[in-house]
Amino acid sequence: MGISAAVLDQYKNSIRKLFPQGEYWDRQFADDQSDASVFVKAKLQSLERFRLSMKELHNESRIESAELLLGDWERVMLGGVNHGLDTEQRRGILLAANAGSFNIESIRKTGRLFGITIADVRFPLRPAFFAHCRFGVDRMASPAAFSVLFVYASGAEQSVRDEFEKKLLSTMLANYIVHFIYGGK
């Protein structure tokens, strides 16, 4: 989606319609050197600049097309700027953070952004409930009190792995205990 704008002649006609009607104004606009014509030309240039800036603003308001404000997007959504990554990787991380869901596919997608292959994701332990806890009734904590997660991955050097782990942990809820295992399963 983009911003579509009228051609300059349409803007010119729209500005002319704001002026009173009559023979005097018709003569004013017929003369290219009259004050009214010069005023309309000046406003056309202003509208053209505004139209271009609105298009740029629209592009910067979307993660998919942001360029100048990409660092601001990162500061707001991620808490810091990823200076070491190229624009597409940074944009991909922002899109993943903005996805709003956390599942195995989102873990794989985040891994791909860092050049890491996720072989498997396992929840090796099942939650246990004791005493007066029942599903549907939270006594002390919800059934998702703590979840252990094993992420089996391969690829990338240690510094990239550290960034991947930091990113993945920032998208998870605090109740996940995550173990990253590199080199196979």
Number of domains in the chain: 2
Residues 107 and 168 in one domain: yes
- Taking each helix axis from N to C terminus, what angle separates 104-113 and 87-98, rounded to the nearest 10 degrees? 170
Residues 43 and 107 in one domain: no
Residues 126 and 175 in one domain: yes
The answer to whether position 95 is within a domain reads no
Range of the domain at 164: 101-182
The answer to whether position 78 is within a domain reads no
Does the predicted TM-score (pTM) go above 0.85?
A: no
The answer to whether position 120 is within a domain reads yes
Residue 129 pLDDT: 55
Q: Are 153 and 147 in contact (CB under 8 A)?
A: no
pLDDT tens sequence for the chain (185 residues): 444 556 778 888 888 888 999 999 999 989 989 998 899 888 888 888 888 888 888 888 888 888 889 999 888 888 888 888 888 888 888 887 776 667 788 888 888 888 999 999 988 876 665 555 555 544 444 555 677 889 999 988 899 999 899 888 887 777 788 999 998 65
Q: Could you tell me the two tokens for 185?
A: 């399963």
Looking at the DSSP bridge assignments, the partners of residue 148 are 177
Residue 95 pLDDT: 81
